[in-house]
Amino acid sequence: MTQVMTVIWGDSNGAQQLRTIETQAGASSRTAAIQVYNHAAPSQTSEGPPVYPGVPPVVGVYPSAESVAYLRFADAAGFVAVLALPAPDTSIFLADGVTVDPLAIGGIIVAATASLVTAAGNLVTTFVGGSLGQGRVTQ
């Protein structure tokens, strides 16, 4: 049975990168072998059968998955979690085209405050703000 492992690799500068490995029998031993030949370390992994939602991408002003709206949330203690929204629709931004309008993403805010946690393990309680950025999505 096909398995997909998601690995978040972290480097000594604090940068992270998300990678996936698809195998027939699991990728744990492959990840350990890869780690021997690089300077990064896996900070988080998960593995299971692949899920194919079947939703096609659409063309828009920001069609690239490297255009990202970074949505920042905080828990009651002030710890922050960032939710990355790749290839965002322009309707979520204020007139400046950079700042995310919280009224336009109400559904995301409700979903995030019901399930998103900070690195401290606390449920987020507040949407802090969001803005357009560039870069690979590595949540």
Taking alpha carbons only, the member of 92, 97, 139, 93 closest to residue 118 is: 139
Beta-carbon contacts of residue 40 (< 8 Å; ≥ 6 apart)? 9, 10, 11, 17
| Residue 83 structural domain | 67-134
Percentages helix, strand, coil for the chain, rounded to the nearest 5?
20, 40, 40
| Same domain for 92 and 127 | yes
**Residues 73 and 39 reside in one and the same domain:** no
Counting the structural domains of the chain, the total is 2
**74-132, pLDDT tens digit by residue?**
999 999 999 988 889 999 999 999 999 999 999 999 999 999 998 888 999 999 999 99
Distance of CA 66 to the CA centre of its chain: 12
The 3-class SS string of 70-94 reads EEEEEECCCCEEEEEEECCCHHHEC
pLDDT band with cut points at 50, 70 and 90 for residue 137:
very low
Q: What is the pTM of this model?
A: 0.67
- Per-residue pLDDT tens digits for 14-70: 878 888 877 777 777 777 777 778 888 888 888 888 887 777 666 666 655 668 899
Residue 74 within any structural domain of the chain: yes
What pLDDT, on a 0 to 100 scale, did the predictor assign at position 11? 83
